[in-house]
Amino acid sequence: MRAVDLIQKKRDGLELSSEEIKWLIEGYVAGTVPDYQMSALAMAIYFKGMSTREISDLTMNMVASGDQIDLSAIPGIKVDKHSTGGVGDKVTLILAPLVASFEVPVAKMSGRGLGHTGGTLDKLESIKGYQIEVTQEDFIKQVQETGVAVIGQSDNLVKADKLLYALRDVTATVDIIPLIASSVMSKKIAAGADAILLDVTVGEGAFMKTVEEARVLAQTMVDLGKAVGRKTVAVLTNMSQPVGTSIGNRLEILEALEILQGKGREDVTEFICELAQIMLGLADVEKTVAEVRQHIENGAALKKFEEMVQAQGGDLEDLYRPANVSHKVDVLAERDGYIVGLPALEFGLFAMKLGAGRAVKTDELDYETGIVFHKKVGDAVEKDQPIATIYANENISENMLTNFQKNVKIDDVSVNTKEIIEIIS
């Protein structure tokens, strides 16, 4: 076989056979299919798409490109969760211990942030001492003993995705449904959980800009999961504004702690309890949202989170330390009215420029910087009331401040928002 013929085949809108996909993935991981041919293929997939059978072959060959985790030593139904990426998305930090507080084991591998999106690993690494590199043995032992672990993905898991994702990132081929679906599901399948909750983000701050696109991605991933015997549910969630009230690594840890202490914003707390209810249902534990919420109110979820942090070497005193920055700048409302828009993409990029995110993979992070919003979409504001505080380790220029203010949309009439748009199972 020759890669050039397979690229041409896809370019011309034809289906690649199972053998051809296997050959391409094996060759790519072995280095015999070079980056430039793989990127041409990814672009051909962007224009011509892939059939259900092709996506399934791609996913399973990606799974086979690395190790697969065997979680069978952990008793019970193991549940996992994945978000397709967002701004201020600290959901895993609360959801994982909350679900584990119901004795449902959560063995989760998370990723890093890139561009305007944040990554759970970076947030956890802002806690002094927290280890994200854990051997498979210790990972399983921690879940057996503590009920929850959130670690970094081992280098040997889905090697094809590591290579392909880095390539897609620099060749404008990230936002392609067959490639996102195979990337996400290959990692989830290889990570070994019995059941998977997929948080498919929709809106301006997400890869999927419309509900229609997100629905196709969600259904594709749910079908891939079910085809290999994993109970899979996808939830389409709103990413038109940042999740919760903060963007930035330490700031999001602090917000997660507030939510776990029952002191978070009502809408985000309710949203996470709803996700927990679905995740528990996947493990055959039927609870009402109110019952789930009790584990926030009685401190059980917070205790689980602290246990996880401690088990992974994190310093519990440092955990509660406020963000340490040289500049805190309030952004004030320009007029009376209601907040009708806080574009997630714009604020994600703003936080990235403060050092909270990476423009390229090799960028160093400033864990302390970011944004705290005092108002969210739907809230009333009065002129000169603080809408947000910028946490920075550099001067915030007038230009940056004007740019921030310009992105806060205020109108006379309020709008409704909802976090969960649709559930696909």
- Strand-pairing partners, residue 392, are 327
Q: CA–CA separation, 271 vs 258, rounded Å? A: 15
Shortest approach of ligand URA to residue 103 CB, angstroms? 28
* Residue 126 binds ligand URA, judged by CB under 6 A: no
Which range, of 130-138, 179-187, 252-260, 358-366, touches ligand URA by CB under 6 A? 179-187
Residue 180 binds ligand URA, judged by CB under 6 A: yes
Rounded Cα distance, 42 and 3, in Å = 12
- Residue holding tokens 């890139």? 114
Min dist. Cβ of residue 183 to ligand URA (A): 3
Q: Is 184 in the site for ligand URA (CB under 6 A)?
A: yes
Strand 420-424 and strand 231-238: the pairing is: antiparallel
Closest Cα partner for 396 from 340, 302, 330?
330
Rounded distance, CA 270 to CA 266, Å? 6
Judged by CB under 6 A, does residue 225 bind ligand URA? Answer: no
With respect to ligand URA, which residue has the nearer C-beta, 59 or 238? 59
Rg (CA), the chain: 21
Q: Is 92 in the site for ligand URA (CB under 6 A)?
A: no
Rounded Cα–Cα distance for residues 411 and 228 (Å): 49
Q: Tell me which residue has its CB nearest to ligand URA.
A: 183
Q: State the pairing for strand pair 231-238/195-202.
A: parallel
* Choices 50-58, 142-150, 176-184, 331-339 (CB under 6 A): range interacting with ligand URA: 176-184
Between 180 and 278, CB nearer to ligand URA: 180
Q: Please tell me whether residue 38 binds ligand URA under the rule CB under 6 A.
A: no
Three-state SS annotation for 117-179: CCCHHHHHHCCCCCCCCCCHHHHHHHHHHHCEEEEECCCCECHHHHHHHHHHHCCCCCCCHHH
Question: Is 97 a residue that touches ligand URA (CB under 6 A)?
Answer: no
Residue 183 in the binding site for ligand URA (CB under 6 A): yes
Q: Which of 123, 168, 188, 215 is catalytic?
A: 168
> What's the half-sphere exposure (Cβ side, CA atoms, 13 Å) at 29?
19
Nearer to ligand URA, 134 or 174 (CB): 174
From residue 335, alpha-carbon distances to 123, 338, 385 in Å are 34, 9, 9
Active site residue 375: no
Decide if 82 is catalytic.
yes
Number of C-beta neighbours around residue 364 at 10 A: 7
Burial environment of residue 47 by CB neighbours within 10 A (0 to 12, 13 to 18, 19 or more):
exposed
Nearest approach, Cβ of residue 338 and ligand URA (Å): 33
- Per rule CB under 6 A, count of chain residues that contact ligand URA: 9
Residue among 69, 334, 66 at smallest CA distance from 191: 69
DSSP string computed for 242-300: -STTEESHHHHHHHHHHHHTT-S-HHHHHHHHHHHHHHHHHTT----HHHHHHHHHTSH
Among the options 57, 89, 161, 194, which is catalytic? 161
Q: Are 103 and 220 in contact (CB under 8 A)?
A: no
Q: According to the binding rule CB under 6 A, does residue 84 interact with ligand URA?
A: yes
To the query of whether residue 168 is one of the catalytic residues in this protein, the response is yes
307-to-28, 122, 125, 328, 375 alpha-carbon distances in Å? 41, 19, 16, 32, 32
C-beta of 207 vs 373, nearer to ligand URA: 207
Quote the least distance from Cβ 214 to ligand URA, whole Å.
Answer: 12
Q: Which of 10, 78, 82, 116 is catalytic?
A: 82
- The yes or no reply on residue 348 touching ligand URA (CB under 6 A) is no
Binding part of the chain for ligand URA, among 14-22, 178-186, 241-249, 254-262 by CB under 6 A, reads 178-186
Question: Should residue 186 be labelled a site residue for ligand URA when binding is judged by CB under 6 A?
Answer: no
| φ, ψ at 12 (rounded to 5°) | -85, 5
Where does this chain touch ligand URA (CB under 6 A) — which range of 102-110, 173-181, 320-328, 350-358? Answer: 173-181
**Is 187 labeled as catalytic in the residue annotation?**
yes
Catalytic residue among 123, 187, 375, 376: 187
Catalytic residue among 101, 154, 183, 240: 183
66, 85, 86, 97: which one binds ligand URA (CB under 6 A) = 85
Those residues with Cβ within 8 angstroms of residue 280's Cβ, 6 or more apart along the chain or in another chain: 99, 102, 104, 286, 287, 292
Specify the residue, 41 or 184, whose C-beta has the smaller distance to ligand URA: 184
37 part of the interface to ligand URA, by CB under 6 A:
no
User: Smallest distance from the beta carbon of 191 to ligand URA, in angstroms?
Assistant: 12
Q: How far is the CB of 339 from ligand URA (least distance, A)?
A: 28
Residues that bind ligand URA (CB under 6 A): 84-85, 165, 174, 179-180, 183-184, 207
Q: Which residues are catalytic?
A: 82, 161, 168, 183, 187
